[in-house]
């Protein structure tokens, strides 16, 4: 039996060895994401031979796994997970990209069924698109930014180890949460906890951050990290919605100042929320990264 353990900050170096150079560009394949949302998914990990194994547990007791990350016999690594699950008909892998699907099918032909899960598709954009916002289809984004810059005396701040910068974002996060909490559901509280974890462990997680300041007050901020060699992932984007253009300008300025050396920017999934899907689609993703739920085929 594999012994899984809870993900802790000190596990970053171990887990990064398996994730930092992965070719998938999937938001789940990132230590900061796994750690930041472990409180929701009860995320655990184990190292088996040359593979990293990641396990999630739902509030109902069901479990799900990521595709094993590593090199070697993939079929053997998946069989270990099936055995660990204890019940093949309940076995499930989530966040499986098309590239992962092909590898699983090659290693274990016709063993599993693959069902698309639209709510967790990742929205991936070319960095230069988010910076330049060129073309007619992104004209409205440029208009929002132009309106913001015309109406406000503002500056961009790169978040560093300076406690004032992180504390200012914490203050803004609390105000943002207080404004939105009454009209939202449990997911907002979970998001607040994850964002707080990112800010509390900003340096240890090796995050990059940026903020927009207007009249000596933070009105928007964003946090992210390197996902792999050519892709940066944006974990957090917060802005006061009543300040027109605040979301548009932090989106652009964060990539410009913190992630312009990357080819792609992964802005994660929409979680099935129509308003979030509309917003992310409005930036015209270059890659809408499909993901699948993988289960054992029912034997007839």
Q: What is the DSSP letter of 90?
A: G
Mean pLDDT for 37-50 is: 96
pLDDT band at 1 (very low <50, low <70, confident <90, very high): confident
- Do domains 5-120+290-296 and 122-268 share one topology? The answer is yes
Q: Cα(288)–Cα(73) distance, rounded to whole angstroms? A: 29
Question: Residue with structure tokens 């560093």?
Answer: 160
Residue range 122-268 forms a domain whose CATH class is: alpha beta
From the options 3.30.465.10, 1.10.287.70, 3.30.2350.10, 3.40.630.30, give the CATH code of 5-120+290-296: 3.40.630.30
Residue 60 has pLDDT above 80, yes or no: no
> Given this model, what pLDDT does residue 162 score?
83
Mean pLDDT for 54-66 is: 86
Q: What is the pLDDT of residues 76-119, one digit of tens each?
A: 999 999 999 987 778 999 999 999 999 999 999 999 999 999 99
Mean pLDDT for 49-72 is: 91
Domain boundaries, the chain: 5-120+290-296, 122-268
Strands across the sheet containing 287-289: 154-159, 208-214, 217-226, 231-239, 264-266, 122-126, 287-289
Q: What is the pLDDT of residues 231-253, one digit of tens each?
A: 999 999 999 999 999 999 999 99
> Given this model, what pLDDT does residue 59 score?
67
pTM, two decimals, is 0.95
Q: Cβ contacts of residue 10 below 8 Å, gap of 6+?
A: none
Q: Cβ contacts of residue 283 below 8 Å, gap of 6+?
A: 123, 125, 129, 130, 138, 141, 251, 267
């Amino acid at each position: 039996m594999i012994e899984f353990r809870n993900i802790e900050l000190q596990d970053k170096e171990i887990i990064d060895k398996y994730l930092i150079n992965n070719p998938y560009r999937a938001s789940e394949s990132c230590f900061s994401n796994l750690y930041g949302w472990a409180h929701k998914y009860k995320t655990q990990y184990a190292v088996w031979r040359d593979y990293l194994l990641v396990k999630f547990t739902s509030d109902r007791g069901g479990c799900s796994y990521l595709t094993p990350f590593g090199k070697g016999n993939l079929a053997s690594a998946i069989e270990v997970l099936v055995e660990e699950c204890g019940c093949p008909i309940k076995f499930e892998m989530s966040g499986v990209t098309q590239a992962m699907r092909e590898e699983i099918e090659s290693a274990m032909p016709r063993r599993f069924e693959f069902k698309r899960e639209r709510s967790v598709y990742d929205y991936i954009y070319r960095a230069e698109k988010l910076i330049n916002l060129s073309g007619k289809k992104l004209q409205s984004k440029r208009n929002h930014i132009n309106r913001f810059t015309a109406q406000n005396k503002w500056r961009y701040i790169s978040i560093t180890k300076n406690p004032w910068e992180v504390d200012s974002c914490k203050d803004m996060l609390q105000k943002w949460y207080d404004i939105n909490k009454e009209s939202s559901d449990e997911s907002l509280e979970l998001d607040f906890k994850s964002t707080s974890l990112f800010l509390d462990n900003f340096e240890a997680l090796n995050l990059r951050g940026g903020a927009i300041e207007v009249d000596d007050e933070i009105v928007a901020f964003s946090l992210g990290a390197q996902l792999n060699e050519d892709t940066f992932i944006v974990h957090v984007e917060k802005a006061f919605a009543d300040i027109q253009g605040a979301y548009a300008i932090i989106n652009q300025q964060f990539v410009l100042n913190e992630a312009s050396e990357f080819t792609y920017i992964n802005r994660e999934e929409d979680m099935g929320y129509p308003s979030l899907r509309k917003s992310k689609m409005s930036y015209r993703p270059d890659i809408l990264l499909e993901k699948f739920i993988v289960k054992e085929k029912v034997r007839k």
